Amino acid sequence: MADHQKSPHGSDEIERLYGVHTVAEALKNPKRKFIKLLATRNAADRLAPEIAAVGLTPEPALPRELDRLLGPEAVHQGLVLDCKPLRQPRLDQIPRQGIVILLDQVTDPHNVGAIMRSCAAFGATALVATARHSPEASGVLLKSASGAYEHLPFTKVTNLARAMEELRGYGFLLLGLDSEAEEDIGDAKISRPVALVLGAEGKGLRQLTRETCDLVVRLDMPGAIKSLNVSNATAIALYALHRSGGSVAEKAQA
């Protein structure tokens, strides 16, 4: 879990990470620049190898002190790590291979965090969202991502349709996911690299987004319910693409 704060040492922002999985993955990320670590004795012992590997000396803290620092809703598990924010790439800087996930105004931070976790699990190249109508990389989102933020570029764009056209220029197939599409994802002829586009809960893909796609497919669901939560749909679609064409990592190295 993470939050954005003003550094006490100046005006620069910091990312405040908390929770065992989130802090552990950050400590293993060589791109991270650490400011300080607050930890209870038990929590420091739990991550002793990771803490020692980066040369940090934890500042001892009691659970109630961390509760006061973060608020009653934060599940910190005895760990609070202040870092400088990760620098995220522009769209033209992400690898032009594998699978990129694009979110069309998905605003629920739980969903975006879960999508980020699925992307990291299946080796997706990047996650792209709109600068407006999408959550910041903090709080509930980072808790839901459970450390995946350390492994996945998270790029924000001003205009999704223009971003899709840019990715098409780089050779990406623009693949929309829509429960009303005629063709099943398992039957479609899909080439790599792929930009998989998913819409918001309820609204789905906006008209311009859908029209910009090269191909729109659905997930085959034989049951009574024909649509899924967007994070669940993303995970299943990534699995379907993995099964149909080998792992993303293998394609990226080909």
Residues contacting 96, CB < 8 A, separation 6+ = 170, 171, 172, 193
**Is residue 69 domain-shared with residue 124, that is, in the same domain?**
no
95 and 211 in a single domain? The answer is yes
Query: Which pLDDT score is estimated for 251?
Result: 41
The CATH number given to whatever domain includes residue 105 is: 3.40.1280.10
Say whether both 149 and 47 belong to one domain.
Answer: no
Which residue carries 């922002």 as its tokens?
Answer: 13
pLDDT computed for residue 7 by the predictor: 46
Which residue, 59, 83, 107, sits at the end of a domain?
83
Per-residue pLDDT tens listing for the chain (254 residues): 555 554 444 335 888 888 999 999 999 999 999 999 999 999 999 999 999 999 999 999 999 999 999 888 888 999 999 999 889 999 999 999 999 999 999 999 889 999 999 999 999 999 999 998 787 766 678 778 889 999 999 999 999 999 999 999 999 999 999 988 999 999 999 999 999 999 987 789 999 999 999 999 999 888 888 778 999 999 999 999 998 864 343 444 44
The strand ranges marked E within the chain are 2-6, 13-18, 34-39, 59-60, 79-83, 99-104, 126-130, 154-157, 173-177, 183-184, 194-199, 215-218
Residues 113 and 64 in one domain: no
Same domain, 15 and 68: yes
Tally of structural domains, the chain: 2
- 212 and 168 part of one domain: yes
User: Which domain-ending residue is among 83, 118, 139?
Assistant: 83
Domain span at 180 = 91-253
